[in-house]
Structure 1
Amino acid sequence: MTGQGRLARVREAVTGALWPLPTAAIVLAVGLGIGLPVLDEVLESGQRPLALVFEGGPSAARGILSTIAGSIISVTTLLFSLTIVTLQLASSQYSPRLLQTFVRDRVVQVCLGVLLGTFVYALVVLRSVRSEDESDDSSFVPRLAVTVALLLSLASVAALVTFLAHQTRQLRVETMMRDVHAEATTTLGRLVGQLAADDQPDAPLPAVPGHARPLCARASGFLVRVEAAPLLETLAGCGAVLRLDRRPGESVVAGTPLAWAWTDDPAAWPPADELEAALARHVVLSFERSPAADPSYGLRKLVDIAARALSPGINDPTTAVHALSHVSALIGQLSSRDTWHRRVTGDDGVVRLLLPSWDHGALLDLAVTQVRSYGRQDTTVVERLFSLLAEAGWRARSAEQRQAVREHCAALTAQSLEEVPAGRTEDDVRRMAAAVERALEGRWEPLRS
C-alpha cells in the first residue's frame, strides 16, 4: 500500500468516527491544565499582578473547579444519552445507514469535545491548587487557570444549548434527507470532476474475453474504492489487463471471483496469485458502505427512507413522497452521464484496469422499483412516481436514458392498471403515462388535470 493510500484510509477512518474531535479536545485540555498553572506561577512571581482574573483563595478555587467538573460530566452524560436515543430513532424509523451521517456530524463532535475538554481541564487544574496547610511553601491558586475554567464553563453552556437545538433539527426527517442529498451531491461532484480530469468516455466497458481468468477475493466486505496507481504498476509488470466484477457499494465475499484478468495472448495465463495479492492490498473493502466512490449510495439511503415510511408499522406516505422528490433531484444530477465507469491507462498507453460502476439504467431501477412495489396502493406515491419519471425523462440526455424511463413507465402503468390506486381511474393512469411520454419528447404537461 502506498503512503497516499494509507493516508486516504486513515482520513476515511477519522472522518467516519465520533471520537477524533472529542479526543483532540481532551488532549488539548490536559495540556492547558498543566501549562496554565505553570504560567500562573511565573506571572505571580513578577512585579505586576494579573488583572481581571479570579481573586479567591484555595478553598474557593477548589469549590469552583469541583462544581464545574461535577456538573459538566452530568451534562455530558445527558448529551451522550440523547445522542444514543437519536441514533436509535434514526435507525429504527428511517434507515440504519443514516447512522453514518449522525456520527460524522461536526456539531455533535464539537459540542462533546467542549464538554469533555472542560471536565478534564477542571480536574487537571484542581490538582495544582494548594493551601498553606498542605505545603511547606505558601498557598497557590492558579488564578489565570481558574478564570479559563470559568470561561470554559460558559462555553459548555453554549455548547449544551447548541447541541439541543441541533438535535431537535436533526430529528426531523426533512433534515435527514437534506443531509443525505447534500452528501450525495458532494460525491457526484467529486466523481464528475475525476472522470472529466481523466477524460473518461461515457460508454460501456468492453466485454470480458473468453480466455480471461477469474481472480478471487481474499476478504469480505463492501467495495469502497480502488487504489488504481499501485494496482496498475502490478498489471503493467505482468502484462495483464484486469476488470473488476463488482461496482462500488456492492458486497464482496472471500473466495469468490472479484475480478477477471487476461493477457493479449490467449495461450498465456496471467499470474493469479500475484494479482490476487495485489487486489487484496489495493481494493479497499469495509464492513459498511461508503460514499467515497459510490454514486448510488445517496439514492440507497433515500429509497430506504421511502420504503420504511411505506411499511405497515409506520405508514407515512407523505415522507415517502418527500424522499422521492430528493430521489428525483439526484436522478437529474446523475443523468449527466450514461455510465460512471473508469478506464485506467498505463504508461505504455494500454488500458490495463477496467473499473465498472453504476449506469443510468441501474440507478433509475434502484430509485423506482422498490418504492413502486411497496407503494402500489397509495395514490400520492403512484402519482409522485409518475412525476419522477416525467422529470427524469425531461432531463434525459441520451437514447439509453430515455429507453430506461420508458421501461419503468410501462412497468408502473401496467401495475397501476392492474390495481388502480384509490380515487383514480384507468384513464387517470393512462393520462399520467402519456405525460411521461410527452416529457421524453420535450413537451412538458402537468400530470394532474
Structure 2
Amino acid sequence: MSNRDSHRGGPLSRLVGMVRGSLWPIPALGVVLAVALGILLPELDEHWATREHPLTFAFGGGASAARDLLAAIAGSLISVTGVTFSLTVVALQLSSSQFTPRLLQTFSTDRTVQLTLAQLVLTFVYALTVLRTVRTESATEDETAFVPRLSISVAYLLALGSVLALVLFLGHLSRLLRVETMLRDVHDEATQTVGRELDGPDGGARDTVEHHGAGPPVPLVARSSGFLVGVDERAAVAAAREAGVVVTLAVRIGDSVVEGTPVAHARSFAPGGSPDAETLEKALDSSFQLHYERTPDRDLAYGLRKVVDICVRALSPGTNDPTTAVHALSHASAMLGRFAERPVDPRSCRDEEQLVRLVVPPWELPELLQLTIEEPLQFAEGQPTVLRRLAGLLREFAWRAQGRAVDDLVCSYVDAVAERALASTGITESETRAWRQKVRQALAGSWPAEVG
C-alpha cells in the first residue's frame, strides 16, 4: 500500500466526507462571511464619513431610511428562507415516499441547494450586522448621525442576488424532483465513487493477498453497531503489525455491523500463535467508521441499491409505474457494466515491510448482479415491459462480463425471467426462447444484427 493510500479513511478523510455529505457547511461559511463583511464595511464607511464619498451610486438616504431598508431586508429574507425550505422538505418527503427515502441524502449534498441557503442566510445576517451600526442623531451624544452608505448598498445588492437565487432555486427544485433527474444524479454519484475507488492509481488492480498467516483464525467481534462507511487503514495496519497478525475483514464497505458479532478474523504469522483478541477488537473499533446510514463516499454498491429501490417502488401496486422501472433498470445496466469491466480483488493493505496486514473484501460481481435482478424480478409479475427490460439488461451485462465466470448465474437469471414472463404475461414462448439465445450469444462474444 502506498503512502498516499495508507491515509485513506483517516481523520482528514473522515472530516472531508462529513462536510461533503452535510447541508450546513457552506451556509455556515456564509454566516461567517456575512459577519465579517458586516463589521469591516461599516468601518470603511466610517473612514469615508468625514470626506466626500467616493462612490456616487451609494445609498443616499438618511438614518431612518437606512434602518427601515435593512430591517425590511432582514425580516423578509428570514421569512422567505423558512417558508421556501419548509415547502422544499414537504415536497421531498412526498418524493421520497414515492421513490425511496435515500434520495433525501442526495438533496442535502446538492450544491445548488447549499449555495441558495448560503445566499439567503448570508444576506439576512449581513443586514442584521450592518443594522447595529446605523445611528440616528437622537441616539448619539454629539447629535451626529452615521449612515454606512456603502454597506447598505451592498445589502441591497445582496437582496437582489437573493431574489435571483430564489428564482433559480425553484427552477432547479422542479427539475430535481423529477424521477429522471433523480436517477441521473444517483448514477453520477455512483460513477464518481467508482472513479475514486477503482479508477485511481491503486484502483482495479489491487495487491494480491499473498500471505494469510500461519496460525488458526481467531474471530474478532464488533464493539459497536452501524453501517461500515470506511476504514482507517493506517490505524488498522499498525494494530495488526504490532500484534503480528493479518486481519481479514468479514464485512464490506456498506455492510451492516452488529455489536457482539464477528466482523473479522486474525491469523498470527507465527505457527500456533494466539493473538490478543481483545486488543485487536479495540483497535478495529477505533479504526471502523460506522454511521447510521450508508454513504456514497466509498460504498460501490450504494448507488445501485438506490436505483433498485426506485425500480421496486415504481413496481409497487400503489405506484404501478413500469416506465420508471424500465428507466431505473437502464441506469442499473450501465452501472453494472462498469463493474463488469473492472475486476476488483480484495484490498490488501501492507505495512512498511510490505507484509499484508489488513484485507478488505470487495463487492463481488455476482453479488451486484443479484442485487440488481432479484427484487425487480420478484415484483415484475404481470409487467411485460419490465420483464423484457430485465432480459435486455442480462444480455447487456453478459456482453460486458465475458470471461468473468458468471455465465451460469446469468443464464439462471434469464431462465427465471423467461419463466416469470410465461407464467404471468402474454409473452410467447418463442420470444422467451430468443431471450435465452441472445444472452448465451452475448456470453460467447456474439451480438447478431437484428433482422427486419
TM-score range for the pair, normalised by the shorter chain length = over 0.9
Structure 1 residue 401 displacement after superposition = 3.2
1:430 pairs with 2:433 = yes
1:96 counterpart SS class: coil
Structure 1 residue 168 displacement after superposition = 0.4
- Residues 55 and 143 of structure 1 are in contact (CA less than 8 Å); yes or no, is this contact kept in structure 2? yes
- Residues 304 and 335 of structure 2 are in contact (CA less than 8 Å); yes or no, is this contact kept in structure 1? yes
Which deviations, in whole Å up to 9, do the C-alpha atoms of 1:2-53 show, x marking residues without a partner? 8972222121111111111111111211121122111101011235543210
Distance in 1 (CA, whole Å) between partners of 2:64 and 2:219 is 75
Q: Which residue of 2 aligns with 1:150?
A: 156
- Residues 65 and 126 of structure 1 are in contact (CA less than 8 Å); yes or no, is this contact kept in structure 2? yes
1:352 counterpart SS class: strand
Q: Which residue of 2 aligns with 1:44?
A: 49
Q: Which residue of 2 aligns with 1:82?
A: 87
1:312 counterpart SS class: coil
Q: Which residue of 2 aligns with 1:192?
A: 198
Closer, same or farther: CA 340–368 of 1 in aligned 2, 3 Å: farther
Q: Which residue of 2 aligns with 1:179?
A: 185
Structure 1 residue 206 displacement after superposition = 8.4
Q: Which residue of 1 aligns with 2:3?
A: none
Q: Alignment length, in residue pairs?
A: 446
2:406 counterpart SS class: helix
Structure 1 residue 342 displacement after superposition = 0.5
Q: Percent identity?
A: 47
Distance in 2 (CA, whole Å) between partners of 1:14 and 1:403 is 43
Distance in 1 (CA, whole Å) between partners of 2:215 and 2:428 is 52
Q: Which residue of 2 aligns with 1:130?
A: 135
Q: Which residue of 1 aligns with 2:291?
A: 286
Matches within 5 A, 1:276-355: 276-355=281-360
- Residues 344 and 352 of structure 1 are in contact (CA less than 8 Å); yes or no, is this contact kept in structure 2? yes
Matches within 5 A, 1:10-21: 10-21=15-26
Closer, same or farther: CA 92–446 of 1 in aligned 2, 3 Å: farther
Distance in 2 (CA, whole Å) between partners of 1:312 and 1:208 is 53
Closer, same or farther: CA 191–20 of 1 in aligned 2, 3 Å: same
1:225 counterpart SS class: strand
Q: Which residue of 2 aligns with 1:439?
A: 442
Distance in 1 (CA, whole Å) between partners of 2:174 and 2:309 is 22
Distance in 2 (CA, whole Å) between partners of 1:425 and 1:448 is 19
1:108 pairs with 2:110 = no
1:229 pairs with 2:234 = yes
What TM-score, normalized to structure 1? 0.94
Distance in 2 (CA, whole Å) between partners of 1:294 and 1:195 is 18
1:33 pairs with 2:53 = no
Q: List structure 1 segments (4+ residues) > 6 angstroms apart after TM superposition.
A: 1-4, 203-210, 446-449
- Residues 435 and 447 of structure 1 are in contact (CA less than 8 Å); yes or no, is this contact kept in structure 2? no
Q: Which residue of 1 aligns with 2:268?
A: 263
- Residues 220 and 252 of structure 1 are in contact (CA less than 8 Å); yes or no, is this contact kept in structure 2? yes
**Residue type at the aligned position of 1:237:** E
- Residues 193 and 299 of structure 2 are in contact (CA less than 8 Å); yes or no, is this contact kept in structure 1? yes
Which deviations, in whole Å up to 9, do the C-alpha atoms of 1:346-403 show, x marking residues without a partner? 2223222111011111111111111011112200000000000000011113241333
1:167 pairs with 2:173 = yes
Distance in 2 (CA, whole Å) between partners of 1:339 and 1:4 is 19
**Residue type at the aligned position of 1:118:** T
Distance in 1 (CA, whole Å) between partners of 2:450 and 2:211 is 40
- Residues 340 and 404 of structure 2 are in contact (CA less than 8 Å); yes or no, is this contact kept in structure 1? no
- Residues 195 and 342 of structure 1 are in contact (CA less than 8 Å); yes or no, is this contact kept in structure 2? no
- Residues 432 and 447 of structure 1 are in contact (CA less than 8 Å); yes or no, is this contact kept in structure 2? no
Q: Which residue of 2 aligns with 1:415?
A: 420
Q: Which residue of 2 aligns with 1:65?
A: 70
Which deviations, in whole Å up to 9, do the C-alpha atoms of 1:272-318 show, x marking residues without a partner? 11111110111111111012222111100000000000011111110
Matches within 5 A, 1:351-430: 351-417=356-422, 419-421=423-425, 423-430=426-433
Gaps of at least 5 residues in structure 1 are none
- Residues 204 and 339 of structure 1 are in contact (CA less than 8 Å); yes or no, is this contact kept in structure 2? no
Structure 1 residue 166 displacement after superposition = 0.5
